[in-house]
Amino acid sequence: MPSFKRPNALIDMPTHYCPGCTHGIIHRLVAEVIDEMGIEGDTVGICPVGCSVLEYVYFSCDMMQASHGRSPAVATGIKRANPDKFVFTYQGDGDLAAIGTAETVHAAARGENITVIFVNNAIYGMTGGQMAPTTLPGQFTQTTPYGRDTVREGHPIRVSEMLSTLDGVAYAERTMTVDPKSIANTKKAIRKAFEIQKAKKGFSIVEVLSTCPTNWGLTPLKALDWLKENMLPHYPLGVYADKGGNE
């Protein structure tokens, strides 16, 4: 029987995340994959600007803190100079799909051999709940107080679908972390993405639908329900690109 213990790739300390936030789970899944692949010593992680800005405190591998949205460019610089090391970015929706769109799209188009963990919770968490590029139509945020009006505020971006049109993308999957099964699936996707990187096949991204109970104004449990009811129809789960072949 497997025992439940802290992955070595995570440092033993409490995180700063709000109750019910799924960042902690996703950190753990990345750390478990690093442990299982035995690559902690060969891995460099890049943390974004946003709620997970302090991620470098939690991971026990070498870490780099990047400016807002630039992680894929930073990852490019690391990976090109150190092609045999594992490089992952961990980015929120504002970081990846608003201020860092150019860096994301071009790293993907170049087929940079890096892994992107994209946490999509449809809102800006750290700055207090403003509209994100993935905020749903009609969703209330601090800067869409009347609900996101697609005429005024435009439409949300489906990142996995968009990136899957690029030839450089070897793997793109959207998952969620709402129950044990979906958490297990997310881990499987992250493992696949790292394996793709190990095989030097190109850009890999796992988009994880995530909750923000604090800024959504919901309890952690209700937030999970809200995700399933509102985000899933707009952001269908699934594999959008897979050039990895058989495992």
Partner 1 sequence: MNKVLMKGNEACAEAAIRAGCKSYFGYPITPQNEITAYMSKALPKIDGGVFVQAESEIGAIHMVYGCAGSGVRCMTSSSSPGISLKSEGISYLAGADLPCVIVNVQRGGPGLGTIQPSQADYFQATKAIGHGDLKIPTLAPNSVQEMVDMTVKAFEIAEKYRTPVIILADGLLGQMMEPVSFGEIENNAAQYPYGAYGHGNKRERNIINSLYLDPLKLEEKINERFERYAKIAETEAAAEYDKDATIVVAAYGSTARVARSAVDKARAEGINAGLFRPQTLWPFPVKQLKEATGNAKAVLVSEMSMGQMVDDVKMALEFKLPVEFYGRQGGFVPNPDEILKKIKEISNN
Nearer to partner 1 (CB atom), residue 68 or residue 234: 68
Rounded to a whole number of angstroms, the minimum distance from the CB of residue 64 to partner 1 is: 4
Distance CA 178, CA 49 (A): 24
Rounded to a whole number of angstroms, the minimum distance from the CB of residue 137 to partner 1 is: 29
- Among 32, 93, 95, 103, the residue binding partner 1 under the rule CB under 8 A is 103
Cα dihedral 48, 50, 52, 56 in deg (nearest 10): 40
- Among 106, 198, 228, 234, the residue binding partner 1 under the rule CB under 8 A is 106
**Would you list the DSSP string of 174-226?**
EEE-SSHHHHHHHHHHHHHHHHHHHTT--EEEEEEE---HHHHTS-HHHHHHH
If binding is defined by CB under 8 A, does position 97 make contact with partner 1? no
- Among 29, 78, 193, 208, the residue binding partner 1 under the rule CB under 8 A is 78
If binding is defined by CB under 8 A, does position 65 make contact with partner 1? yes
If binding is defined by CB under 8 A, does position 75 make contact with partner 1? yes
Distance CA 46, CA 71 (A): 6
- Among 6, 36, 41, 128, the residue binding partner 1 under the rule CB under 8 A is 41
If binding is defined by CB under 8 A, does position 64 make contact with partner 1? yes
Distance CA 118, CA 129 (A): 18
Encoded amino acid at 191, one letter: R
Distance CA 44, CA 97 (A): 22
- Among 6, 36, 82, 225, the residue binding partner 1 under the rule CB under 8 A is 82
If binding is defined by CB under 8 A, does position 27 make contact with partner 1? no
Nearer to partner 1 (CB atom), residue 47 or residue 183: 47
**3-state DSSP call for residue 187?**
helix
The residues binding partner 1 (CB under 8 A) are: 40-44, 46, 53-54, 56, 59-67, 70, 73-82, 85-86, 102-103, 105-106, 110
